[in-house]
Amino acid sequence: MIDPRQVTASIVGAVDWQSEVSGYCRCPGDSLHTHKTGKKDCRVNVDGAPTIYCFHASCAPAVAETNKRLRRALGTPWTLTLPDGKVLRAGDVLQASGGILPREVVIARAKTEGRDVGEQLVLETLMAMAARFRPEMFEKFHWPFAQIVEGSPMQVHHRDAQDQFRFWLRLWPAHSTVWIGDVYSSGKPEHRTHFRPVAEWDQIGPVMGNFTCGAAFKPGSFSRSNDNCDGTRFLVVESDTLTKDEIGAVFAYMNGRLHYNLHAIIDTAGKSLHGWFDAPRNKVMEDRLKAALTVFGCDPKLFTYSQPVRVPGAFRDGRLQKLVWLKS
């Protein structure tokens, strides 16, 4: 029976194994890196869907090609006995808790979700990798709240409510129909007034409610539903459990490593921050990103584009919901 770690080393070179199934290695595309390469920039995992993962973006084609070779080589049945005596088999996922998610469970989940087994295996692997990587991410992409405010390309946090609101409106294409209201300002014909073009909101201001959505809606809508979204959308990311400094690291990771364009960060006048990003390009990328973000501690409810989120320029218990970071 083959040892998956030996097979991996034959493909990527020496591996500094941090666990039975995960370690640091030389990136197969390190010659393509446009920034200095660190010792921990590239990681390889042999469980689940065997994966090489590098912090740099310029090496992506080389990494993708080597991932294909690695997965072909490790498609051969293998077993690995863990320190606690448990046996890990090809296709199983070793979770951060130490438990094993067998391939049979992955197959069952794929059937339940109506998803290809291979893609379900990738998702389960990504979640396991995210759980292992989580402490490292908070350290490597440290972006505390004070630095977020001070480093904003446009200094907007001190602006008054009207300016806050109008700066935020600039995120939207001019033709967009945007919803603003309270949570229940949706579903009846009389709620049509909460769905207005950007130009009208610019004149009215944020007086219609404390909430908006990360999606624009079809003209004439009066229900805040996914079916009424017109395709213009942002992915809004937040957490009810992470501190502002910790969610800042998630924002920095998404923007700096995953290259999701960060447009704005909103202080909700509560405990959390909302990061407004370009939405993923397709459903596969969206599912993968959301799986990892959930493991990091982000709120999966906001991944529904019609979900209410805080709008800047409105007041919450006497405190201003405001932009603290805005792309110029």
Q: What is the pLDDT of residue 155?
A: 92
Tokens representing 265?
A: 């960060």
Assess whether pLDDT exceeds 80 at residue 1: no
One domain, residues 88 and 39: yes
Q: What is the DSSP letter of 181?
A: B
Domain termination site, one of 139, 164, 185 = 139
Last residue within a domain, chosen from 81, 112, 139: 139
Q: Which of 85, 108, 139 is the last residue of a domain?
A: 139
Pair (125, 161) in one structural domain: no
Model confidence over 211-233: pLDDT tens digits? Answer: 999 999 999 999 999 999 999 99
| 70-82: pLDDT as tens digits | 999 998 899 999 9
Q: How far apart are CA 324 and CA 157, in angstroms?
A: 5
* Cα 310 from Cα 140, distance rounded (Å): 29
CA distance from start to end of the chain? 57
Q: Look at the chain and report how many structural domains it folds into.
A: 2
Same domain, residue pair 155 and 284: yes
**Whether residue 318 sits in one domain with residue 197:** yes
Q: Are residues 180 and 300 in the same domain?
A: yes
pLDDT of residue 109: 94
Regarding whether 180 and 298 lie in a shared domain, the answer is yes
Residue 177 sits in the same domain as residue 230: yes
pLDDT of residue 257: 87
Q: Which residues, listed in sequence order, are joined to residue 316 by a DSSP beta bridge?
A: 319
Q: Which domain holds residue 276?
A: 145-326
Three-state SS annotation for 28-92: CCHHHCCCCCCCCCEEEECCCCCEEEECCCCCHHHHHHHHHHHHHHCCCCEEEECCCCCEEECCC
Residues 87 and 211 in one domain: no
Mean pLDDT of the chain: 94
Separation between Cα atoms, residue 108 and residue 88, nearest integer Å: 18
pLDDT digits (tens, 9 = 90+) for 280-326: 988 899 999 999 999 999 999 988 999 999 999 999 999 999 999 99
Quick one: 213 and 121 in the same domain?
A: no
Which residue do the tokens 């084609």 mark? 61
Rounded CA-CA distance 130/220 in Å is 41
> Rounded to an integer, what is the distance from CA 172 to the centroid of its chain?
21
* Interval 113-123: pLDDT, tens: 999 999 999 99
253 vs 292: CA distance, rounded Å: 12
Is residue 161 located within the same domain as residue 74? no
Judged against a pLDDT cut of 90, whether residue 87 lies above it is answered with yes
Q: Which residues pair with 262 in a beta bridge?
A: 277
The answer to whether 213 and 308 have CB atoms below 8 angstroms apart is yes
- With vertex at residue 68, the alpha carbon angle to CA 67 and CA 70, rounded to the nearest 5 degrees, is 60
Q: What is the predicted pLDDT for the residue at 96?
A: 87
Alpha-carbon distances of 101 from 38, 47, 62, 79, 109, rounded to whole Å = 31, 10, 29, 14, 11
Query: Is residue 225 domain-shared with residue 308, that is, in the same domain?
Result: yes
Residue by residue, DSSP assigns 216-283 as: EE-TT--S--GGGEEEEEEEEE--SSS-HHHHHHHHHHHHHTS-PPEEEEEE-SSS-EEEEEEPPSSH
The answer to whether the beta carbons of residues 192 and 222 sit under 8 Å apart is: yes
Whether residues 152 and 127 share a domain: the answer is: no
Grouping H, G, I as helix, E, B as strand and the rest as coil, residue 295 is helix
Q: With the CA atoms of 236, 241, 243 and 246 taken in that order, what torsion angle do they form, in degrees rounded to the nearest 10?
A: -70
pLDDT of 57 higher than 90:
no
Reading the block at residue 114, the tokens are 């109506």
